[in-house]
Structure 1
Amino acid sequence: MVDDIHQTEHDPASDPEAIEELLEEDAALDIDFEDVVEAAAATVEPAEGGTGSEGSSDPALVADLERQVAGLKAQLEDRANQSMRIAADFENYRKRTSKEKDELATQIKGDTVIELLPVVDNFERARSQIKPQTEAEMTIHKSYQSVYKQLVETLKRLGVSAMRAEGQEFDPLLHEAVMREPTAEHPEGAVIEEFVRGYQLGDRVLRHAMVKVAAPPENAPDNAEAGDGADSV
C-alpha cells in the first residue's frame, strides 16, 4: 500500500497540475506553428506571384522555415501521444482506485457483520429454548422476535446469506467438521447435523458452519462397543 501511495504521488496521470501544464505547452506549440506557417507563406507567396523579393530568393531561409515547421510538427505529434498516454494512465488509475475502494467497503462490511453474528445466534437460541406459557410471556417473546426478524432482514439487504449445511455434502471451504458419526442412514461425507450456522457475504465466507459428518458404519468386532457412539475430530 505504501508503494502505491508513493507511485501515485509521482504519477502524472494523478496530478491535475501536470495535465494542465501539458495542455498549456500544447497551446503554445500551436501558436508557434501558426506563426511559422504564416511567415513561410509570406515569404513564398511573392515568388509564386512573380513579383520577386529578397525573402523569396533566399533558399536558405525557406529551408530553415521548412525545418522549423517539421520540428514543430514532430513536437506536436509527441505531445499528442504523451497526452493520450497520460489519459490512458489516468483511466487505469481511476479504475484501480475505484476497485480498491469497493474491496475496502466490502471488507469493512464483512468485519462488521462478523461481530453481529453472535447476536443472531443468541436470538435463535432463545427462540428454540424459551417456551412462553402465559400471555405476558408470549408478548415478550413476540417483542424480541420482531427485533430478531428486523436484524435478519437488515443482514439480507447487506448481501449476507445463511448456509443450509444439513443434508449437504461436506465442503471444507464452507463447513468445519467437529464430529463424525458412523451411520448407515446417510452417505459417507454428508452433513447430518448443524451445530453452528455458517454465513456468507457474497462469495466470502464470514463464518464456517460447525457440523457433524456421516462416517461409514463400524462393523469390525473390535469396535462393536463403540458402534453407536459419536467421536469428535
Structure 2
Amino acid sequence: MANEEQKMEINTETSELKSVYDSSVKAEEDKEVKTSNSDENLVVNQDIESVESEAEAEKNLIPDLTEKINNLETKLQESNQKYETLNNNHLRLNAEFDNYRKRSVKEKEDLEIKVKCKTISDLLSVVDNFERARNSISPANDGEAAIHKSYQGVYKTLVDSLKRLGVGPMRPEGEIFNPLYHEAMLREYTDEYPEGTIIEELMRGYILGEQVLRHSMVKVAAPKTSNSSDSENNLGREEKESEE
C-alpha cells in the first residue's frame, strides 16, 4: 500500500512538474512570438516612418525645384533679351558701317571724277587749237608739211590719251536737241529737218562716262514761218551783242 501511495505521489508530482514545464515552454514560446511580432512591427513602423519621411522630403523638394526652374526661366529670358539687344546693335553697326563704306567709296569716286573732269576740261582748249590749226593751215612746202605733220602727231597722241581715260566726243548732228548735253547757239528756220533737230555742231562737246565735260555748241532747226527772217536776224544780233 505504501508503495502504491508513493507511486501515486510520484505520478502526481511528475504531472505537476510536466504541467509546470509545459506552461513554462508555452510561456516562452508566447514570449518569443510576441518578441518576433514586436520586432516585425518595429521594422514595419520604421519602414513606414522612412517612407513618410522620404515622401515629406520629396514634397518639400517640389517647391524648391519649381522655384529653381522659374529662376532659370527668368534668367534665360533675360539672356535672350540681352542677346537680341546685342544682336540688333551688331546688325545696326554693320549696316551703318556698310553705308559709311559705300558713301566713302562714292565720295572718293565723285572726287576723282571731279578732279579728272577739271584737269581734262583744261586740256580741251588745247585740243580745239590743234583742230583749228589742222583745218586752217595748208602747208606750202615740204618744210611746212613736216612741221604740220609733227604737231598733228602730238595732237593724235593727246587725243589717244584722252580716249584711254574714257573721254569721248559728242556726235550730235541729226539728234534732237537735249539741254543736258547741248547748248543752242544758232537757229536755222528750215523745212528740211524736224523742229529741234541739231543741224550742225559749232564747237565739239565731250563726255567722260556719263559726265559732261563740255556741252556741245550747236545749230538747231526751227520751223519756217513768215516771221522767220526777222527772228533769225534778231537772234544773230543778240549773239553779236553777247560776244561784244
TM band (smaller chain): 0.5 to 0.7
Contact 2:200–2:219 (Cα < 8 Å) also in 1: yes
Structure 1-normalised TM-score? Answer: 0.63
- More helix, by proportion: 2
Aligned: 1:92 with 2:96 = no
Contact 1:192–1:213 (Cα < 8 Å) also in 2: yes
Which of the residues 169, 172, 185 maps onto 1:178? 185
Per-residue deviation, 1:66 = 4.9
Which of the residues 104, 112, 115 maps onto 1:105? 112
Partner of 2:122: 115
Partner of 2:155: 148
Unmatched tracts of structure 1, length 5 or more? 1-51
- Structure 2 vs 1, CA of residues 58 and 190 (structure 1 numbering), >3 Å: closer, same or farther? closer
Partner of 1:68: 75
- Calculate the aligned-residue CA RMSD, in Å: 3.4
SS in 2 for 1:113: helix
- The amino acid that maps onto 1:100 is E
- Structure 2 vs 1, CA of residues 183 and 69 (structure 1 numbering), >3 Å: closer, same or farther? closer
Percent identical pairs in the alignment equals 49
Aligned: 1:212 with 2:219 = yes
Alignment of 1:12-23 (within 5 A): none
Per-residue deviation, 1:65 = 4.9
- The amino acid that maps onto 1:130 is I
Distance 1:227 1:146 in 2: 44
- The amino acid that maps onto 2:127 is V
The structure whose Rg is larger is: 2
Which of the residues 187, 204, 210 maps onto 1:203? 210
Partner of 2:7: none
**Number of residue-to-residue matches in the alignment:** 179
Unmatched tracts of structure 2, length 5 or more? 1-57, 239-244
- Structure 2 vs 1, CA of residues 71 and 125 (structure 1 numbering), >3 Å: closer, same or farther? same
The structure whose RCO (Cα within 8 Å, separation 6+) is larger is: 1
Per-residue deviation, 1:231 = 4.4
SS in 2 for 1:214: strand
Per-residue deviation, 1:118 = 0.6
Partner of 2:45: none
Distance 2:195 2:133 in 1: 33
Distance 1:228 1:65 in 2: 91
Contact 1:175–1:211 (Cα < 8 Å) also in 2: yes
Residue range with higher mean Cα deviation, 182-191 or 109-118: 182-191
